[in-house]
Structure 1
């Protein structure tokens, strides 16, 4: 029974994390342009406390670049894990934006 479970788990992990292009296991990848831009906008918005309008625009830039990254992962992710990561990020952004508008 344990062999069947470990075989099923191995197949599930293989399906979830196997890169469909290279065949390698891919959990994380080096950040690409949208993630670098998100990081820069996020840090700049966090740093900019003196002018709320500048911080607001930088925050919008962070939201937009993270949305760009998440959509790219959802539509072109190399495996189901990367696609789920994109979908989860989009849902999290939607929740965050909704909370910002409500509060």
Structure 2
């Protein structure tokens, strides 16, 4: 099979097209912390949940950027990482 640019962008090492995957631990933590922030809208708990959500999404994006299964997933990690940093500036 010839490796075209589209293959490198969207396929993993086994040749499967990968756009989305089951959430891993950092993404699950981010989802839970973000949902809990909707319940605890003020105070120290909200600040702690915000830090946990930011840290876990940062970790997910970093892992995708350097260990993503294809170029699409790595680009997604880069976009999320840049978005997170821009949101804090």
The answer to whether TM tops 0.5 is yes
1:30 to 22, 27, 41: 22
For residue 41 of structure 1, what is the aligned residue in structure 2? 33
Structure number with higher relative contact order (C-alpha < 8 Å, ≥ 6 residues apart): 2
Which structure is larger by alpha-carbon Rg, 1 or 2?
Answer: 1
Q: Report how far residue 15 of structure 1 moved.
A: 2.0
SS in 2 for 1:92: helix
Deviation at 1:55, TM superposition (A): 0.4
Note the C-alpha offset of 1:13.
Answer: 2.4
Moved over 2 A (4+): none
Which structure has greater helix proportion?
A: 1
Q: Cα deviation per residue 1:22-52 (whole Å; 9 max; x = unaligned)?
A: 2101011111111100000111112212x42
Residue equivalent to 1:64: 55
What is the CA deviation profile of residues 79-103 of structure 1, one whole-angstrom value per residue up to 9, with x for unaligned ones? 00010000000000001111xxxxx
1:60-87 Cα deviation digits (max 9, x unpaired): 1000000110011011000000100000
Instruction: Give the unaligned 5+ runs of structure 2.
Output: none
Quote the RMSD (CA, aligned, Å): 1.1
